[in-house]
Structure 1
Amino acid sequence: MEIGRSAFTDLPVSDTTAARRTPELFEEVAPADEAGRPGTPSSRPLRSAEVRARRRAGIAYDEVPEDLAGTVVEPGDVGFAKVRSTYLRGGDPGLVLRPGSVPEVVSALAFARRHRHVPLGVRSGGHGISGRSTNDGGLVIDVGRLDEITVLDESARLVRIGPGARWRDVATALQPYGWALSSGDYGGVGVGGLATAGGIGFLNREHGLTIDHLRAVEMVLADGAVVRASETENSELFWGVRGAGANLGIAVAFEFVVDEVDEVGWAQLSFQVSDPAAYLEAFGRVAMAAPRETTPFLILGNGVAHMMAMVGSADPDVIIDQLQPFAEIAPLVQQQVVIAPYAAVMNMFPESPHNGRGEPVSRSALVHKITPAFAAASADLINSGAAYWYQIRTVGGAVSDVAADATAYAHRDANFSLTAMGVNAQRLDRWFEPVRRQSDGLYLSFESDRSPERITDAFPPATLRRLRRLKAQVDPHNLFQDNFNITPSTSRSVS
């Protein structure tokens, strides 16, 4: 069955401003000192007794540093509903700190060090599936205001990006230059989380992970030190940031070398699927044989499969030729294929506020090949109804060109990344465990199970040992632990 050429149309690109700054929640208050006495200029808002009554125990609200006081959000504030939760997880933090500069990030971490007894979450975009960038009664350091996007060297395609920028805005800013940076599958995600975890996106088979384009990162460490890491400066930290950055500090700026990317082919295809296991095996064979210019993502349900794929070409014949083998796996019931700028794909979904509820239940697996055993276990999971979301992302290609020990993201031989989501953790685990037994690791960005075993699944033994030694150097007291925590090694030497 051939994909109709008439489906190719132009997809408009949003003219959203590339680099936005979030309006300040509070305006400057009339001069007063911390006790409310007139005569001392201060940016601290005056909060009513009703608002102060909603403060959480154990947090010294009146000791928030002066440079942060005007933008913090407390539980009783009007703006709290917009910052309490993440994309999937409901939260009720005791205080959200919103630094707008590197010195303010240093101040925020100093405040956090004085509050080690409460949880600490760090947030860029708040879209992380694990939901660890919010908590109950603790602190959240939200770097969303650090959202600048700057071209440092046009000839070298070197771009500086703040952790709070959203990938939709990055794509829009790069489009006039004919550039793009592989950045997940949804433009509303913040740069900071993706750029420190890996970055599996629609360009990765051709251009590699997001972290493979990183040339330098500026970070604030647990002790407040501001450092720059690259291949020649703090190289061990630079290695660790690319895959385990959430454990090592707060990134305040990234420098990327981006790719020249013209218009791309963008396809959304739906199939009738009577046998999920057989379909998965066939999809796996076709995907591994596909040219690396094509990166398909698959969402498989009971009786239907939906595939989204990007082809790194603006030639209709090339796009059709590379998609045709996928169209022949099962009856095609719906299709949309367009030629569009990468920025159009990143802007296709509207921005929406994060209003998560409860705890997300998500499981992840990386596999080298979709074997009959993996496909059968996956089909059982899908048919059980325990997972309302089953997605396979293709990896491999350029991702596998990088040596396994070059970055903390070590599973370079994986060709597929699976995410399964459910409502009940016990029920999902019952059906997911047979799938996990067929896997070769996991990608932490799509995992919500915080069992210690998940750390060993995510990082091979040599990688984990090296990360623990690095952790002992940059965060010996384990300030950054309310995530998938890598505990510091007792040995301080790093090989």
Structure 2
Amino acid sequence: MVMAFLLGSMVSVLSLAYAILDAAPITGARQLAPSTYTDTCNTIANSLSTSAGVYYIGHPLYAKGNAHWASSSSQNSACVVEPANSNDVSIIMKIISNTSTPFGIRSGGHATNPGFSSTPGVQIALFKLSGVTYRATRAMSDGSVGTVEIGAGLGGRVTGVGVGGFILGGGYSWLSNQYVTAFEVVLPNGTIAVATETTNSDLFFGLKVSPRLELVSTVTLAFQGGFNNFGIVTKFTLLAFPQGKVWGGLRTFTVNQIDKINNATVDFVQKVNDPKAAIIIAYNFLLGQLGVSLLMFYDGPTPPAGVFERFTSIPYLSTDISTRTLEAPSTPFH
């Protein structure tokens, strides 16, 4: 797994489909006035369970539903809707589909671009879907898509990253979604489906995104999989496992080593197929000039030969590579 950030910029993608929807203006017969968006909000409010919530501007939970980690990603929606269960999500999807109302979906909202998890229409905030069930006998746990509220149990590498976008490909992870065994997902027509390797297997394949890096004329971050373009995931079932020690850390390089880093990255992409190995490359400024920060990770105490040697042989400026626990406070992996 490889991720690259050019000049230290991060792009966190929750929903490519909704980004496209909000970025392209609705024209012709489908164009809706903001008042129509509010009408849709009112219809939703009169249709959901009593545990759900619909909030308008001026309400504290409206502000919470629209606020993002990056202000550049925030938009003022017509309303914020908090479904309480998958049936509520199904009702919402049917209403916004019938009214052609634009919508956004947010779990943690750890995005940088408007439209990725925001909208001028109906903002669906999954805060109430925050239940976690651990089944020790089956060595599995069910996790909903809630966010910061359950961060102590489930979450991303940093505080504020939502479970939903993180597992579906919106976050950059060392363990990614390799332990997902089932998705409960509400399809665009409102159907509630379960996707596993044997049931709705094509949908399961589409939802299990895995990032890769394509090196062409410029550095491009690409993804295999569908994020949440196929529906709204309301529950994940994941394998539980004991996390042992891991290897890796941060290593920095000066500008004269950039070509070597680039060549080593190409070599890594083409030759390393070990799913336990990952790197993040950030081109930034070190000592007042262009440099590279390289984060290497291996999900095990020692990487096998042939994985990172192209990188470790390059002269570096600083390093903290070691074998450590993944959750250690000083780890650079968070």
TM-score, scaled to structure 1: 0.47
SS of structure 2 residue aligned to 1:329: coil
Cα distance in structure 2, aligned partners of 1:276 and 1:264:
26
Query: Does 1:57 find its partner at 2:41?
Result: no
Question: 1:93 offset after TM fit, Å?
Answer: 0.8
AA at the equivalent of 1:217: F
Question: 1:194 offset after TM fit, Å?
Answer: 3.2
Structure 1 gap ranges (5+): 1-54, 175-182, 204-208, 351-495
Aligned to 1:309: 296
AA at the equivalent of 1:228: V
Q: Measured at CA, do residues 157 and 70 of structure 1 come closer, stay the same or move farther in structure 2, by a change above 3 Å?
A: closer
Cα distance in structure 2, aligned partners of 1:247 and 1:322:
33
Q: 1:115 aligns with which of 99, 106, 113?
A: 99
TM-score, scaled to structure 2: 0.67
Question: 1:76 offset after TM fit, Å?
Answer: 2.4
Query: Does 1:213 find its partner at 2:179?
Result: yes
Q: Measured at CA, do residues 189 and 265 of structure 1 come closer, stay the same or move farther in structure 2, by a change above 3 Å?
A: same
Aligned to 1:470: none
Cα distance in structure 1, aligned partners of 2:153 and 2:51:
32
SS of structure 1 residue aligned to 2:83: coil
Paired residue total: 274
Determine which structure has greater relative contact order: mean sequence separation of CA pairs < 8 Å that are 6+ residues apart, divided by chain length. Answer: 2
Q: 2:165 aligns with which of 188, 193, 213?
A: 193
Structure whose CA Rg is larger? 1
Aligned to 2:267: 285
Q: Measured at CA, do residues 284 and 168 of structure 1 come closer, stay the same or move farther in structure 2, by a change above 3 Å?
A: farther
1:161-211 deviation digits (Å, cap 9, x = unpaired): 111246983xx548xxxxxxxx875453222223334865324xxxxx51x
AA at the equivalent of 2:232: I
Q: 1:103 aligns with which of 69, 87, 90?
A: 87
Aligned to 1:295: 278
Query: Does 1:93 find its partner at 2:71?
Result: no
Cα distance in structure 2, aligned partners of 1:280 and 1:262:
31
Question: 1:348 offset after TM fit, Å?
Answer: 7.1
Cα distance in structure 2, aligned partners of 1:235 and 1:323:
34
Q: 1:232 aligns with which of 198, 202, 206?
A: 198
Q: How does 1:54-453 map to 2 (within 5 A)?
A: 56-58=34-36, 59-60=38-39, 61-63=41-43, 64-65=45-46, 67=49, 71-88=53-70, 89-116=73-100, 118-130=101-113, 131-136=115-120, 138-152=121-135, 154=136, 156-165=138-147, 169=151, 173=153, 185-186=157-158, 188-197=160-169, 201-203=173-175, 209-210=176-177, 212-242=178-208, 243-274=225-256, 276-285=258-267, 292=274, 293-301=276-284, 303-314=290-301, 326-330=311-315, 332-337=316-321, 339-344=323-328
Q: Measured at CA, do residues 239 and 325 of structure 1 come closer, stay the same or move farther in structure 2, by a change above 3 Å?
A: closer
| Percent of matched pairs sharing the same residue | 21
Q: Measured at CA, do residues 322 and 224 of structure 1 come closer, stay the same or move farther in structure 2, by a change above 3 Å?
A: closer
Cα distance in structure 1, aligned partners of 2:93 and 2:163:
20
SS of structure 2 residue aligned to 1:342: coil
Structure 2 gap ranges (5+): 1-32, 209-224
Q: Measured at CA, do residues 100 and 260 of structure 1 come closer, stay the same or move farther in structure 2, by a change above 3 Å?
A: same
Q: Measured at CA, do residues 255 and 121 of structure 1 come closer, stay the same or move farther in structure 2, by a change above 3 Å?
A: same
AA at the equivalent of 2:96: A
SS of structure 1 residue aligned to 2:183: strand
SS of structure 2 residue aligned to 1:246: coil
- Say what the alpha-carbon RMSD is for the aligned residues: 3.8
Kindly indicate whether the alpha-carbon contact (under 8 Å) linking 2:139 and 2:239 is maintained by their aligned counterparts in 1: yes
1:120-146 deviation digits (Å, cap 9, x = unpaired): 11222212455421012x001111221
Kindly indicate whether the alpha-carbon contact (under 8 Å) linking 1:167 and 1:188 is maintained by their aligned counterparts in 2: no
Cα distance in structure 2, aligned partners of 1:166 and 1:78:
17
Cα distance in structure 2, aligned partners of 1:71 and 1:349:
36
